[in-house]
Amino acid sequence: MRSDRSLTIVTRTLAAISAAIVLLIIGFLLREAAPALRQLGLSRFFTDESWHPLSSQFNLTPMIVATLVTSAGAILIAAPLGIASAVFVNFYAPHRLAVWHRRLIELLAGIPSVVFGLWGLMVLAPIVATFGGSGQNLFTATIVLGLMVLPTVALLSDAAIAALPRPWIQGAAALGMGRSAIIGWVVLPGARRGIGSGIMLALTRAFGETMAVLMLAGNIVEMPSSLLSPGRTLNANIALELGYATAGHRSVLFVSGLMLMLVVSCIVLLISHRRGHQA
Amino acid sequence: MLIATENLSVSYNGRTVLRDATIEAKPGEILALVGPSGCGKSSFLAAINRLTEIIPGASVRGRIRFDGRELETVFPSSVDLRRHVGMIFQQPNPFAMSIRRNLELPLREHGIRDSGELRRIAESALRDVGLWDEVSDRLEQSALELSGGQQQRLCIARALALKPQVLLMDEPCSSLDPLSAERVEQLIDSMRGQYTVLIVTHNLAQARRLSDQVAVFWTQDGVGRIVEQGETEAVFNAPSNPIVASYLSGRKG
């Protein structure tokens, strides 16, 4: 089997390259963060007074919290909307409307994040400001982030539902079960894994999103006391400060990058571990 | 006549797959629908319990009568209709739930909430299909752990639990191993007199053993039609249509 052997070599090489890139990035982050970690130790990033890198204060906790809050909030917005959209196009929308709905969702996925940020700033922030503050806060950032990751949940749930075996749905219908019962008992449980993957992917996208959140969250480094507090995420922190950071400060920023990867990896591992148990 | 169709036609996105199918089935009778693949037999069944409603692009013309009255008048709601006209598919399709829940869920959907009542109906349906002794000690296990033949009998039990008058069966034995297929066939045979059964089968010997009436479907000019029907023995012994004669004798189709 000559062709099989060459394909084996090609797929192995390509897989090795993808894996190597991830490892190289982690290695790079570790190398760049090493001076700061050696000099300061890990605990100071949690116990320092505040984040004032120029005055040697390196507390990352408020930014970790802001990252977690905006991403989790985004999922709370995107998951119900995305799943509802997938159910709608598969079971409730007339064919033509379903086609247009899918196109719109795909379009939403294609909007650049800076445009989302701009829209949030000009349209959403003034509305949120009526609750108090400037409107540039975690709440505004969370809403926009939710809309940005919505297509991921919607499109993956849609694909998972569309891939369900037709006989399952026909079988339930043939037993005289109504549409909502079929969706609740057959469709959603059957598509659970695919929908879960969509939510997971959306969550990692939310963690990674920088620009829109930077434009909307207010960027003040302090422990948020409510959703209406301004905040700064880990990614925004890197984007904002890397331009002027030198030596020690620069290395500290790589620690925050490392921290972000650590948070994301922990959550991904935690969720996939739990799903492994269910399956 | 319990179920009668008159000039029933089914098309998908404007393409007709079955034209002018007219049949009659008496109460308690087994009617076999035979013929090569793709001549509209499954579409015919789907039109009767309005499963065509959930098949995109499907449309049905013609009349269906239930006990002498228009089906639309007797069962305006499809949910109601499907309770009285059950359906069994080629691939056993139990829900990915426990055996008990498979039986109880449709009953609950039809408004039966009392747990004693649910248990009683589930047990009697399982006894009817000869599955009770095999599964009574593991009702809480997933139905997907049963063998293919057991799953199919569970699906039949699930349909019978709703106390239908008519059962539509779309090649219920063809995905099963020979022994399981025989069990299911015996089961269908035992339903004679209690349920009106419309069964699609590619197994001509089975159709002959099982049915009281037979309708032979054939594709003519790209459209499925019923080319011969009548008492099973009469059709098998002396078919009037030459195509049917060669099909039934195994020379064609």
CA–CA separation, A41 vs B51, rounded Å?
A: 67
B253 — pLDDT class (breaks 50, 70, 90): low
How far does CA A128 lie from the centroid of its chain?
A: 22
CA–CA separation, B104 vs B101, rounded Å?
A: 5
- Residue A2, pLDDT > 90, answer no
Burial of A125 from C-beta contacts in 10 A (0-12 / 13-18 / 19+):
buried
Structural contact between residues A149 and A74, judged by C-beta atoms closer than 8 angstroms:
yes
Domain count, chain B: 1
Confirm whether B45 is domain-assigned: yes
Residues of B in contact with A167 (CB under 8 A): 89, 91, 93
Beta bridge partners, B169, equal: B88, B199
Torsion of CA B109, B110, B116, B120, to 10 degrees: -110
Residues of A in contact with B78 (CB under 8 A): 176
Q: Tell me which residue range forms the domain holding B197.
A: 3-96+164-248
Confirm whether B202 is domain-assigned: yes
Confirm whether B133 is domain-assigned: no
Q: Per residue in B203-219, pLDDT tens?
A: 999 999 999 999 999 99
Confirm whether B177 is domain-assigned: yes
Cα–Cα nearest to A143, from A90, A74, A56? A74
Nearest to A186 among B83, B95, B155 (CB): B95
A279 — pLDDT class (breaks 50, 70, 90): very low
- Please give the CATH topology (third level) of the domain spanning A58-233: MetI-like fold (1.10.3720)
User: Is A176's Cβ below 8 Å from some Cβ in B?
Assistant: yes
Domain locations along chain A: 58-233
User: Is A108's Cβ below 8 Å from some Cβ in B?
Assistant: no
Confirm whether B21 is domain-assigned: yes
Q: Per residue in B39-52, pLDDT tens?
A: 999 999 999 999 99
Q: Per residue in A96-130, pLDDT tens?
A: 999 999 999 999 999 999 999 999 999 999 999 99
Residues 6 or more apart whose CB falls under 8 angstroms from that of A45 comprise A58, A59, A60, A61, A255, A259
Q: ipTM score of the complex?
A: 0.89
Write down the mean pLDDT value for chain A. 91
User: Is B121's Cβ below 8 Å from some Cβ in A?
Assistant: no
Maximum Cα–Cα distance across chain A: 71
CB contact under 8 A, A173 and B51: yes
Chains A and B: how many Cβ contacts under 8 Å? 57
Confirm whether B34 is domain-assigned: yes
CA–CA separation, B42 vs B53, rounded Å?
A: 14
Confirm whether B126 is domain-assigned: no
How much is the pLDDT for B252?
67
A232-248 average pLDDT score: 90
CB contact under 8 A, B93 and A167: yes
Residues 6 or more apart whose CB falls under 8 angstroms from that of A172 comprise A181, A182, A185, A186, B95
Residues 6 or more apart whose CB falls under 8 angstroms from that of B81 comprise A176, B49, B50, B71, B75
CATH number at residue B10: 3.40.50.300
Confirm whether B208 is domain-assigned: yes
